[in-house]
């Protein structure tokens, strides 16, 4: 049996290409399919009034891959000889390769507004996230107080 | 190679609510760094087109009130900080001139 062996770097390149293609495809799907279907919810009908919830959807993903290999060269010959002399059970020169990869993703959704369709007409009611507003207000207040305190601390002359 | 930033507006499936037909529109913002596998996709509602039974069309924008308040607070904070700094510099200049 004469099976042709591919090098680890070729395998890695193929794997990376496949991964990039998968990520790109996922992102294409996210923009193509999820855009309107994820943003606008299913209409809820109740007593002549139809409510359509809306939300914003944020999705991020990333992937990384790395590899390394060691092949003995002429420069490393003394090291090889030393090793061979010490360890007779493994006379083969040291060589090897390794690779690793990792990826991650994040998805976030937040209600934005509600579309209300009634016999009187169509209107959009915004959804206020009080927690986010309170956090933003506290951050702003903290920044202002910090800046004032820093200015007061500095000597005036 | 795909561009760094892509912005697309898309129309969704029309919804029939009573005698009104609602066509939703969404915006998709895609951020991709060339050479790096991965990216960011941000989908948000843009507006709706309401078509009544007698053919009247009405476009209503979907306003993100929370984001507007957040941006206003951030802008107010930065502006307030800048004004405080200018005021402080003027006071210091006045003291050193005396």
Task: Tell me how far apart the alpha carbons of residues A68 and B63 are, in angstroms, rounded to a whole number.
Answer: 51
CB B40, CB B30: distance < 8 Å: yes
Asked if residue A123 has pLDDT above 80, the reply is yes
The two tokens of residue B22 are: 């609602």
Greater model confidence, A84 or B50: B50
User: What pLDDT score was predicted for residue A31?
Assistant: 58
Task: Tell me how far apart the alpha carbons of residues A113 and B66 are, in angstroms, rounded to a whole number.
Answer: 10
In Å, how far is A79's CA from the nearest CA of chain B? Answer: 38
Contacts of A44 in chain B (CB under 8 A): none
The two tokens of residue A105 are: 């993703």
CB contact, 8 Å: A113 with chain B?
A: yes
Per-residue confidence at A138, pLDDT binned at 50, 70, 90?
very high
Q: What is the pTM of this model?
A: 0.70
User: What pLDDT score was predicted for residue A17?
Assistant: 74
* CA distances for A76 relative to A68, A89, A97, B29, angstroms: 17, 20, 17, 52
pLDDT in tens, A11-43: 667 777 777 777 777 766 765 555 678 899 999
Per-residue confidence at B2, pLDDT binned at 50, 70, 90?
low
Q: Which of B3-12, B22-31, B77-86 has the lowest mean pLDDT?
A: B3-12
Q: Give the residue on A whose Cα is nearest the Cα of B19.
A: A119
Q: Give the residue on A whose Cα is nearest the Cα of B97.
A: A157
- Which of B12, B40, B69 is nearest residue A133 as measured by Cβ atoms? B69
CB contact, 8 Å: A146 with chain B?
A: no
């Amino acid at each position: 049996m004469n099976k042709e062996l591919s090098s680890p770097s070729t395998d890695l390149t193929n794997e990376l290409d496949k991964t990039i293609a998968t990520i790109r495809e996922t992102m294409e799907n996210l923009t193509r399919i999820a855009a309107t279907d994820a943003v606008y919810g299913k209409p809820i009908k109740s007593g002549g009034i139809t409510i359509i919830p809306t939300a914003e959807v944020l999705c991020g993903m990333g992937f990384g891959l790395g590899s390394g290999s060691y092949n003995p060269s002429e420069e490393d010959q003394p090291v090889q000889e030393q090793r061979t002399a010490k360890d007779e059970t493994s006379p083969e020169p040291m060589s090897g390769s390794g690779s690793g990869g990792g990826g991650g993703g994040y998805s976030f959704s937040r209600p934005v507004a509600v579309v209300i369709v009634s016999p009187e007409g169509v209107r959009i009611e915004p959804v206020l996230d009080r927690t986010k507003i309170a956090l933003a207000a506290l951050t702003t207040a903290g920044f202002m107080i910090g800046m004032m305190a820093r200015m007061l601390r500095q000597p005036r002359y | 190679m795909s561009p760094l930033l892509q912005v697309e507006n898309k129309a969704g499936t029309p919804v029939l609510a009573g005698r009104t037909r609602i066509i939703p529109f969404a915006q998709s913002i895609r951020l991709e760094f060339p050479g790096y596998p991965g990216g960011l996709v941000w989908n948000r509602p843009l507006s709706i087109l309401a078509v009544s039974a007698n053919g009247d069309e009405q476009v209503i924008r979907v306003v993100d009130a929370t984001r507007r308040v957040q941006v206003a607070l951030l802008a107010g904070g930065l502006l307030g900080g800048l004004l405080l700094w200018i005021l402080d510099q003027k006071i210091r200049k006045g003291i050193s001139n005396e």
